[in-house]
Structure 1
Amino acid sequence: MNLHAMNRLVSLSMFLTLLIWPAFNTSASAEDLQVMSFNIRFGTANDGDNHWNKRKELVAQRITAFDPDLLGTQETLEFQKKFLAEKLPAYTSIGVGRERGDNEGEMTALFFRTARFELLDHGHFWLSETPNVPGSKSWDTSLTRMCSWARLTDRESKSARPILFMNTHFDHIGKQARIESARLLRTKAEQLGKGCDIVLTGDFNAGVDSKPYRALFGQSSGESFFHDTYAIGRPADESGEATFSGFKASTREGARIDWIATSNHWKVLEATIDRTGINGRTPSDHYPVTATLLQKAKTMP
């Protein structure tokens, strides 16, 4: 068999495999909110057989299989954002590079379903002591880190409250930076999210027994500001919660470092870690995590 024929056979095999990949639950009602957080691994990494060009279709396939209303991505470069925008024409995307606030460098790019949401406002801030300064760094962070956000009106929700959708990526080395970033996120969420119901996605590079986790989800004035959707959707003390796969679909033991969090007034219907793989590999070195939410009807001002 010549090389051209072999390539055609491989492409056909991958196409057929994608067709039989397990799909997510498609029984969600119109008001349910499907949320996904996905670290897609920066596309210029020297990953060999797991290079972006060899897995980008798999990334897009897992996103479309879940069909999220809100999608937060991490480690997203401009050409990856453009690829996903082409594959997801029903979505509006927002994202800037972390170095200067332009198109250079990794983004915490977020996507929302255009027909469902009206965009009220959007912006970005940096995880530093000067959050409004693009590219700023503080504490012991090894890299510039940021958060992107959008304030939305959900045309399908019975609640009159808008949604603040935030997406972030904490530093992978700086221990103090992760703690301070969690504290900053809570402060910013309170400021930007006044009158809103908040959804937060991200790669937090910290486990659920960590100080950053407690700083984000800990109680203040007797009540938690943020709630961990996976802990609510899967309340049992389960093993096998790893969300960093290292491109291996068999990885289960390890820390759950990718989270979807909400403020009050959300009901968690389901929360999952998508470990779908093909030939033993995953679409990224992180598993995408998902949550199905219901925005509660307005009961207070």
Structure 2
Amino acid sequence: MRKVIQLSLVLLLMVSMANAQRENAINIISYNIRLNVASDGENAWPKRKDNVKALVRFHDADILCVQEALPLQVDELLENTNYAMEGVGRDDGKRAGEFSAIYFDKSRFIKKDGGTFWLSETPEKPSKGWDAALNRVCSWVRLFDKKNKKEFLVFNTHYDHIGVQARIESAKLLKRKIQEIAPKLPVVFTGDLNVTPETEAIATIKSFLIDAKEASVEPAYGPVGTFNAFKFDSPLKDKIDYIFVNKGFKVQKFGVLSDSKDLRYPSDHLPIIARLSF
């Protein structure tokens, strides 16, 4: 009888610990939401913004990292939410151009620090690097998690879509910057990196961070590819969106979300999600 009671107590303790781990986990979504351009027609932002917001809300994103967000989109993603936002426009370091913005639940997280640097030879100011076609930025924020009583950092970026050398050099710059800004704390690095996993640019990141998909305790969920080009019958073969972590985090789950409505995707990329614990 005593052994039965002991076993029951152990099982109850395990269930309690598992529930606590789920409750204290951080859900983070990385999502290229596609910039707002009228030429997208039926897929233009005004016709899909509500679906983007509903997706983020349904999947309980504690942190949302977006790419390609223009100022109006940045503002609309904040409306009727409990988010605060870190990020600047890539063209002037203020409001002009696309953001690589980071949204975080302000009731759970306290911002300790944050900033933006450019993916270029002059990262401290608005600039275009190497053979890139456009200015590119990485925004970052250091947060205190009130649930877990821990600090961590989130970095979010969008590599150039044209410059091969720019993507390679951007990865090298990111490695230096992340190690400089966050030498000891847990780190999450997200982004649309415009490269597939076998490339040098990804190898550089994997030399010091771990792909959340590969680290997930549960088998990764969803398709392999993350770019759909607004085609509902896309084969979804090419993975170009990523969430990386360092050893400060355990990845409980990872998924590529193929949510749709009326045979339409909310963006030309699929969002990716990871559930993280310290």
Instruction: Give the TM-score normalised by the residue count of structure 2.
Output: 0.89
Deviations 1:219-247 (A, max 9, x none): xxxxxx21100122289799941100112
Deviations 1:165-191 (A, max 9, x none): 111000001011001111111110001
Secondary structure of the residue aligned to 1:208 is coil
Secondary structure of the residue aligned to 1:157 is coil
Q: Letter of the aligned partner of 1:113 in structure 2? A: D
Secondary structure of the residue aligned to 2:79 is helix
Does 1:140 find its partner at 2:131? Answer: yes
Question: Matched residue pairs, number?
Answer: 260
Does 1:230 find its partner at 2:222? Answer: no
Counterpart of 1:66 (choices 59, 71, 84) is 59
Counterpart of 2:140 (choices 149, 170, 173) is 149
C-alpha spacing 1:253/1:86, structure 2 compared with 1 (3 Å): closer
Deviation at 1:70, TM superposition (A): 1.2
Query: Which residue of 2 is the match for residue 39 of structure 1?
Result: 32
Q: Letter of the aligned partner of 2:176 in structure 1? A: T
Counterpart of 2:231 (choices 238, 248, 261) is 248
Does 1:55 find its partner at 2:48? Answer: yes
Does 1:260 find its partner at 2:243? Answer: yes
Deviations 1:52-107 (A, max 9, x none): 1110100001100111111100000111011110042x110122110110111100
Query: Which residue of 2 is the match for residue 95 of structure 1?
Result: 87
Mark the runs of 5 or more structure 1 residues left unpaired by the alignment. 1-25, 219-224, 296-301
Deviation at 1:50, TM superposition (A): 0.3
Deviation at 1:249, TM superposition (A): 3.6
Q: Letter of the aligned partner of 1:51 in structure 2? A: A
Deviations 1:14-55 (A, max 9, x none): xxxxxxxxxxxx997221010100000001251011011110
Contact 1:147 1:166 in 2 (8 A): yes
Query: Which residue of 2 is the match for residue 283 of structure 1?
Result: 266
Q: Letter of the aligned partner of 2:245 in structure 1? A: T
Q: Letter of the aligned partner of 2:111 in structure 1? A: L
Instruction: Name the CA distance, whole Å, in 2 between partners of 1:37 and 1:273.
Output: 10
Secondary structure of the residue aligned to 1:46 is helix
Deviation at 1:195, TM superposition (A): 2.9
Contact 1:229 1:260 in 2 (8 A): yes
C-alpha spacing 1:191/1:255, structure 2 compared with 1 (3 Å): same
C-alpha spacing 1:249/1:233, structure 2 compared with 1 (3 Å): farther
Deviations 1:84-133 (A, max 9, x none): 10042x11012211011011110001101101111111100000011001
Secondary structure of the residue aligned to 1:30 is helix
Query: Which residue of 1 is the match for residue 153 of structure 2?
Result: 164
Q: After the TM superposition, list the runs of 4 or more consecutive aligned residues in structure 1 that deviate by more than 3 angstroms.
A: 234-240
Instruction: Give the TM-score normalised by the residue count of structure 1.
Output: 0.82
- Residues 73-222 of structure 1: pairs in structure 2 closer than 5 A: 73-88=66-81, 90-134=82-126, 136-158=127-149, 160=150, 162-218=151-207
Contact 1:183 1:215 in 2 (8 A): yes
Q: Letter of the aligned partner of 1:120 in structure 2? A: K
Secondary structure of the residue aligned to 1:176 is helix
C-alpha spacing 1:28/1:67, structure 2 compared with 1 (3 Å): farther
Contact 1:60 1:87 in 2 (8 A): no
Contact 2:157 2:191 in 1 (8 A): yes
Contact 2:156 2:189 in 1 (8 A): yes
Instruction: Name the CA distance, whole Å, in 1 between partners of 2:162 and 2:33.
Output: 19
Deviation at 1:211, TM superposition (A): 1.2
Contact 1:229 1:262 in 2 (8 A): yes
Mark the runs of 5 or more structure 2 residues left unpaired by the alignment. 1-18
Q: Letter of the aligned partner of 1:70 in structure 2? A: I
Q: Letter of the aligned partner of 1:265 in structure 2? A: G
Instruction: Name the CA distance, whole Å, in 2 between partners of 1:143 and 1:80.
Output: 19
Instruction: Name the CA distance, whole Å, in 1 between partners of 2:62 and 2:219.
Output: 27
Secondary structure of the residue aligned to 2:274 is strand
